[in-house]
Structures are given as C-alpha cells and as structure tokens.
Amino acid sequence: MGKTVYIKRQVLDSLLSYARSLHPREGILLLRGKRRGDGWVVEEVVIPPLATYGYGFSAFPLSRLPIDFSIIGTAHSHPSGHLAPSNTDLNHFFGSILVIVAPPYESERDVAAFDHEGRRIPLGVIHEP
C-alpha cells in the first residue's frame, strides 16, 4: 500500500462544515489518528486551544498544545479556493500530514492532503455504518 490518508466520512463532513461556517476566514483544526501501513487514518478533529481565524491566515500557539501523540497533523481552509499548500503552510507544518479544504466545501473533491514537502497524498474516505 502506498502513502494514503484515509479519513472517516464523519470527520470529512466535520472539516467541510467547520470551513463553511468560518468562511471567508480561514479555519484550523488538529487531526487525531494513527499510522496505518505507509499511510494515516484520520479518526477525529480537535479545535486547537487559543486558535486565531483571520482573513488569509489561521494559527494557534504550539506552546498551548497538550502532549498528545495521537495528533498526526493539521487541517485548515483556504477560502481563496486554492487547494494547495502555500510556502507559509509548509514552513509552519505540524505533524505528518496537512489537509486543506477549499470552497465550495461540499465533498471530498474540495479536500486535499499533503506531506511536509507539499506533495499531494491520495485521500480515501472510510464509510462506516
């Protein structure tokens, strides 16, 4: 199995809804999950403490994060619609993966995953009963 980010349907829906509710500001979330073979499974999202949501940026103070080894990366929205990481995104990369959500925030077509070098990673959706 090659590198793939698997995301639970409920988590994907949460990302889309969160981004839609903050639009046109950027939103940011922590991704909780685990390694799976050569990839990752995203099982939950967490709102980072003291997060800032602005027009063209989002951030949180790393010093305020609890020690949590289940955090595998971050997700944030790009209200501009650009579904790729910026240089700033890559310079402030946290964890193993970065997920970006862009308008119209409707389906997995509006979501992309990346590694720390900005390379796109295939995204799979886990449909649970």
Query: Is 26 among the catalytic positions?
Result: yes
CA distances from 8 to 19, 42, 87, 88, 124 (A): 17, 6, 28, 27, 9
Asked if 129 contacts 106 with a C-beta cutoff of 8 angstroms, the reply is no
Q: Which of 26, 43, 117, 128 is catalytic?
A: 26
Distance in angstroms (rounded) separating the CA atoms of residues 25 and 103:
12
Cα 97 to Cα 4, 34, 55: the distances in Å are 10, 11, 23
Q: Which positions are catalytic?
A: 26
